[in-house]
Structure 1
Amino acid sequence: MHGVYSKIPFPPRHRFQSTQRPRKMAMARRGRQNAAASPAPSLALVVASLVTVFVFGFSSAITCTRADHVEGHMSHEMFGYENDATGPAKWGSLHKEWAVCGDGKKQSPIDITTVEPQKVKEPLMQAYKAGATTIQNRGHDYMLKWKDGNSKLTVHGKEYTLKQVHWHEPSEHTINGTRFDAEMHMVHEDPSMARAVVSVLLSTKAGQPNAVLTEMAPHFKNLAGKEKAEEEVKEPVDPSTWVDKTSGYYRYDGSLTTPPCTEGVIWTIMSKIGDASKEQIDLLKTVATTVEPNARPAQKLNDRIVSYFEV
């Protein structure tokens, strides 16, 4: 990540007052239409209909599962961030596959308050290369997705491939209760679909623009307010400079921060805060026609340990 960084004191002690204000989110409400009466169908028609329903349902299930593996997010229409019937507190009861959102013991994000320093220095092992990408408006965020597997991250001796990057506004992870202006998530997967996410917290405090957001800005503008719209990024995108290699980092075992909230995700949160301008943060808000936050509240740490690594 280009720009000036300010290192979080270790253990983290400072406070940062976010300028974010609560915003309302308009949720789509769909009514049901009564089916018109029709003559009894023939046996052949019934059989054909059942086959169609089975095939379509099976195909949809496969598509949903694959989307979950690749992106780790479900349709924005199915959940929200307000304190209402589809908000974070209710995610666990909205769908049976999402139960862990409510009863999981290793959920993300968290508030980082107590850390365990590691005696051995361990630089972040990234081998990123430029690659072809597409960018999509997912209704709740903008997602940059790689078409190839050029970029690798090694954690605990296991290699993960960078699949996609997306942004949350404001940040989901907090430091001593401090919430920052935005957070970038770099989502990686290994062949078994296990995930590792590298997170960079962003602040407008210094007023400096963020190089990544500057690069993505034209695409954000093209896709603003167009849910499910997607476009090709003409030039190869190189993420090799997106993370400050001199930064220490926090690491813990967590989960996806959106439904289905799958656990077993290795989180790495960089301890140096990246820069962003207010205009860039405002551009992240254009993902929906109604301005809305897309940050899940902090979850209980339970018996987990947050490790701190120097480099």
Structure 2
Amino acid sequence: MDKSSIQCFLFILLTIIVTMISCSNAQREVGKLYTFDPEDESEFTYVRNQENGPEKWGKLKPEWKMCGKGEMQSPIDLMHKRVRIVSHLGRLTRNYKPSNATLRNRGHDMMVKTVARNQVKLLRVAVHDLRQNICRKVTEQSR
């Protein structure tokens, strides 16, 4: 091996080591803010005609019994005549504080749960505590 090949090899090796250390430090910093829970809670699906689909939610768990009797549970048909579009709700005000959080993949959605009492004010009067944010997965059937 000539001198330039050795220098090139050492440069690449050094770059890889520095990158690995940087990624390790970044992961440690993220770990201070978020807790990742790999548990998959795919107990139900939004896909109709499945053994754990919407029409069977009320039978999956005793505490979900109302899902078999209710008329307004998810998935809600937003094209229904009872849905009203209100374009003049006013300004959304919020009071957010930095907070530790838990990010959890629950199979059917991703949930971010915070410790701080962040608040959102809707319709100029109602103040709501924002404790968790849930992002649902889009399926082929829901498009």
CA distance in structure 1 between the partners assigned to 2:115 and 2:123 by the alignment: 22
Kept in 1, the 8 Å contact 2:97–2:116? The answer is no
What pairs up with 1:122-141 in 2 under 5 angstroms? Answer: 122-132=89-99, 133-141=101-109
What pairs up with 1:208-287 in 2 under 5 angstroms? Answer: none
**Relative to structure 2, which stretch is displaced further, 123-132 or 96-105?**
123-132
CA distance in structure 1 between the partners assigned to 2:118 and 2:140 by the alignment: 29
User: For 1:134-172, what per-residue CA distance to the aligned partner results, in whole angstroms no more than 9, with x for missing partners?
Assistant: 3122222221221101332335733211111121232xx
CA 1:294–1:94: 2 relative to 1, 3 Å: farther
> CA-atom RMSD, angstroms?
3.1
Q: Name the amino acid aligned to 2:53.
A: G
Work out which of the residue numbers 163, 170, 195 in structure 1 matches 2:131: 163
CA 1:116–1:164: 2 relative to 1, 3 Å: closer
Note the residue ranges of structure 2 that are not aligned, 5 or more in a row: 1-39
CA 1:129–1:156: 2 relative to 1, 3 Å: closer
Provide the secondary structure at the position in 1 that maps to 2:116: coil
Provide the secondary structure at the position in 2 that maps to 1:76: coil
Provide the secondary structure at the position in 1 that maps to 2:56: helix
Q: Does 1:96 align with 2:96?
A: no
Instruction: Name the structure 2 match of 1:112.
Output: 79
Q: Name the amino acid aligned to 1:87.
A: G
CA distance in structure 2 between the partners assigned to 1:103 and 1:166 by the alignment: 24
CA distance in structure 1 between the partners assigned to 2:112 and 2:85 by the alignment: 33
Note the residue ranges of structure 1 that are not aligned, 5 or more in a row: 1-74, 171-292, 298-311
Greater length-normalized contact order (CA 8 Å, ≥ 6 residues apart): 1
CA distance in structure 2 between the partners assigned to 1:143 and 1:294 by the alignment: 21
Kept in 2, the 8 Å contact 1:76–1:139? The answer is yes
CA 1:107–1:149: 2 relative to 1, 3 Å: same
Q: Which has the higher helix share?
A: 2
CA distance in structure 1 between the partners assigned to 2:104 and 2:116 by the alignment: 16
Provide the secondary structure at the position in 1 that maps to 2:63: helix
CA 1:107–1:142: 2 relative to 1, 3 Å: closer
- Larger Rg, first or second structure (1 or 2): 2
Kept in 1, the 8 Å contact 2:104–2:111? The answer is yes
CA distance in structure 2 between the partners assigned to 1:139 and 1:147 by the alignment: 22
Kept in 1, the 8 Å contact 2:41–2:107? The answer is yes
CA 1:140–1:157: 2 relative to 1, 3 Å: same
Instruction: Name the structure 1 match of 2:41.
Output: 76
CA distance in structure 1 between the partners assigned to 2:133 and 2:124 by the alignment: 22
Instruction: Name the structure 2 match of 1:146.
Output: 114
CA 1:134–1:294: 2 relative to 1, 3 Å: farther
Provide the secondary structure at the position in 1 that maps to 2:67: helix
Percent of residue pairs bearing the same amino acid type? 28
What pairs up with 1:188-207 in 2 under 5 angstroms? Answer: none
Q: Name the amino acid aligned to 1:123.
A: G
Provide the secondary structure at the position in 2 that maps to 1:111: coil
CA distance in structure 2 between the partners assigned to 1:85 and 1:157 by the alignment: 42
Kept in 2, the 8 Å contact 1:153–1:162? The answer is no
